[in-house]
Amino acid sequence: MVKAVLGVIGGSGLYDLPALEGAEWVEVASPWGEASDAVRIGEIDGLKVVFLPRHGRGHRYAPSDINYRANIDVMKRCGVTSLVSVSAVGSLNEAMAPGHFVLVNQFIDRTFARAKSFFGKGCVAHVSMAEPVSPGLVGHIAAAAKAEALTFHRGGTYLAMEGPQFSSLAESNLYRSWNCDVIGMTNMPEAKLAREAEICYATVAMVTDYDSWHPDHGSVDIQSIIKVLHDNADNARRLVARLAQDLPREHEACPIGSDTALEFALMTAPEARDPELTAKLDAVAGRVLAR
């Protein structure tokens, strides 16, 4: 069995995890460039936890400026087996109100200005994204949310938009017509890259507002969003602490194979692979490239 290591990527409003014991900020080099920040590594009840603020401390990176490949590569290099993405979102579903958490199970990717894969010319691979989150990990998060008496919804579709501007009324209504539940700017290509890195991934979407579609909400009010952000961040810290306390210390095999996603994904013959690219893939794909 593989020892479990919990990774947490903190979104807007979540820049640290005070519950971490013996924690220190550690700079981890990645061949994919600079990650958003150093990682904060510590323990909660004996479980190793690796925390990374997605936007950097002080919120230095806009959604399209984040080096998603470096962030996921760093998590892999730290031994993360299960990765929880804590993300601020707008709601496209009236039942999912500001202050609620949504445990997303599907994504629609509408981003267009980001590198979306570790693979490419010289080493081609295709992984399945039919089920983009690990149901086993979601089950543990749901149990933790219930234990902490948080209001949450299990299941929902996350529309990932480019940003940094919020959506127009027409766009908001379009995404609602697609049966999307929440809208955000950061979980793609993050979820795709986590799958390529064979890390079990799940999203805790923290609702801050009703986007621009709601007749009683009007345009997105930044001040109101920031207030809800702070409240959500406090609840997210409680949720992560409870999850870490209860997560099995031995990594459980993912029911949908998230942790073996590269098993049959590599298409390029070994003799045709680009040595420079495969060297950069040492952490992400070392398990299959070593064969």
Backbone phi and psi for residue 122, each to the nearest 5 degrees, phi listed first: 105, -20
Beta strands in 119-221 (DSSP E): 152-154, 157-160, 182-184, 200-209
Asked if residue 209 belongs to a known ligand binding site, the reply is: yes
- Choosing from 45, 211, 221, 246, which is the catalytic residue? 211
Asked if residue 134 belongs to a known ligand binding site, the reply is: no
Asked if residue 55 belongs to a known ligand binding site, the reply is: yes
Asked if residue 274 belongs to a known ligand binding site, the reply is: no
Asked if residue 88 belongs to a known ligand binding site, the reply is: yes
Q: Distance between CA atoms of 80 and 97, rounded to whole angstroms?
A: 31
Asked if residue 175 belongs to a known ligand binding site, the reply is: no
Asked if residues 49 and 43 have their Cβ atoms less than 8 Å apart, the reply is yes
- Choosing from 73, 109, 181, 209, which is the catalytic residue? 209
- On the CB side of 219, CA atoms within 13 Å amount to 5
DSSP assignment letter at 36: S
Q: From residue 42, give the alpha-carbon distance in Å to each of 159, 201, 208.
A: 32, 20, 29
> Is 211 tagged catalytic?
yes
* Catalytic annotation, residues: 209, 211
- Binding residue ranges for substrate: 185, 209-211
- Binding residue ranges for phosphate: 12, 54-55, 87-88, 186
